[in-house]
Structure 1
């Protein structure tokens, strides 16, 4: 099946589906100028930190507890690479598609907040967001646009304890609320699962695609490279997220002006 035929087929599935689960990873934010995480050319591809650590060691819950200065150094590096970025066409078109469907949910691994900035409301930020800080010692929490002006590591203005972003670090448990929400979405039933810009190495990210395959529900992967679910989906588009979503939107809305 050539690319245009596949695009037509996927557009047809999107047109018919009312309950959709879209799973996104770092690849969807690449068109906003953000580096991918571990992929080829990614921010930490085959690279150790200045301390000789893997990035998984540096960005772990254990390191936050033992050496918050090291953990925060690389959290701040990630945030600085995201700073100033805005949603791209893929984020915006997903948010627009949500307005047309009875239930379109986004399960994202990204902590950059771009889906929320684009207007997505049915959103499961399974790894949290760098834009929300919580004290590890008291109930204080606050939202920040970026880390400009923060001491690294930052101290709580209320009790002096350590502040940390509300993100899931390596070795930490996923938020129970997010997992339960995903389970409820799947239990209610979906008509289509889309995986966009993720290598799907985590079981909870690949899981919905496996579930769709077992249930006979169509699934789509939008990814220029291969992933853990490439052999499971019913349709593959080897395209970047913004290009693919733009082409699909044009098929769904042939009379709409280009560049929504």
Structure 2
């Protein structure tokens, strides 16, 4: 059977679906990833990018952190692509329990998804470290230097930096979804970032589907392995016919 048709049939015949995605979902919206040949880790900076977006660097070199963060981590003009839209449609049809994403760009919510667990936080949430006041992303994009709260505290993005722990409530809900899932679709991720990638071990269902442009450590465990664009694959699988029919 054609792999797209097989994916379509699996989606049609199951209602407890969870999607686990990574940077490859967002690259199709023009947001660069970290690890590919053109990714941020291959570019030359005064400090290595993985050092710049670390907890210790944020506190020791805040000006350099925000210079990099504004230039390379926030993409306010990015729009949801076919993958985001297909997943939002599946949620609206009652097929999708939720999206577990390693991305921080908020594109799933922009596409209409309501049930989204952001393992690494979001650029759209920012808070004062001193008084806890919430700030929109414009508090960072429309300022220069280290952004400050009206109380004088430093505004910090609600993203998980290197050396920081994942949010416990987010992990808990993600694990609950994975344990309930009949189908797990993994897409646009190399499954190389831990502890996030380790969460998929909680999945106990019968249909593990992996969609990616390059090999992953989980390929041999997949019931269906599709090499290609996550946006094109999901768009073809979801939108050719009404899945709920």
TM-score by length of 2: 0.91
Counterpart residue number, 1:257: none
Distance 1:154 1:99, change over 3 A: same
Partner residue in 1 for 2:216: 227
Distance 1:146 1:231 in 2: 45
Residue 152 of structure 1 deviates from its aligned partner by 2.3
CA contact (8 A) 2:139 2:147 kept: no
* Alpha carbons 1:206, 1:228 under 8 Å: kept: no
Q: Distance in 2 between matches of 1:232 and 1:40?
A: 26
**In 2, are the aligned partners of 1:23 and 1:205 still within 8 Å (CA)?**
no
Counterpart of 2:59 (choices 60, 65, 68) is: 65
Q: Is the 8 A contact 1:93 1:249 kept in 2?
A: yes
What does 1:6-17 correspond to in 2, within 5 Å?
A: 6-17=3-14
Structure 2 counterpart of 1:253: 242
Partner of 2:102: 109
User: Which residue is equivalent to 1:140?
Assistant: 133
Query: What is the Cα deviation at residue 251 of structure 1?
Result: 4.2
- Matching residue of 1:49: 45
Residue 166 of structure 1, aligned match among 149, 158, 165: 158
Partner residue of 2:15 out of 10, 13, 18: 18
- Counterpart CA distance in 2 for 1:54 and 1:139 is 30
Deviations, residues 202-249 of structure 1 (Å, cap 9, x unaligned): 34443354444xx35211111111123222211111111111111112
Q: Tell whether 2:194 aligns with 1:194.
A: no
Structure 1 contact 132–143 (Cα < 8 Å) conserved: yes
TM-score by length of structure 1 reads: 0.86
* CA displacement at 1:74 relative to structure 2: 1.7
Structure 1 69/96 Cα, relative in aligned 2: closer, same or farther at 3 Å?
A: same
TM superposition shift of 1:111: 0.6
2:98, 2:65 → 1: CA distance?
31
Structure 2 distance, partners of 1:32, 1:174, is: 25
Partner of 1:86: 79
Query: Residue 113 of structure 2 aligns with which residue?
Result: 120
Q: CA RMSD in A?
A: 2.1
2:40–2:49 CA contact under 8 A, matched in 1? no
| Distance (whole Å) between structure 2 residues aligned to residue 138 and residue 164 of structure 1 | 12
Distance in 2 separating the partners of 1:226 and 1:145:
38
Between 1:118-127 and 1:243-252, the stretch displaced more is 243-252
**Partners of 1:127 and 1:174 within 8 A in 2:** yes
> Residues 103 and 216 of structure 1: is their aligned pair in 2 closer, same or farther, counting only changes over 3 Å?
closer
Q: How many residues align?
A: 244
Are 2:24 and 1:32 aligned? no
- Can you give the 5+ residue segments of structure 2 that lack an aligned partner in the other structure? none
Q: Relative to structure 1, is the Cα distance of residues 24 and 235 closer, same or farther in structure 2, using a 3 angstrom cutoff?
A: same
For residue 141 of structure 2, give the secondary structure of its aligned residue in structure 1.
Answer: coil
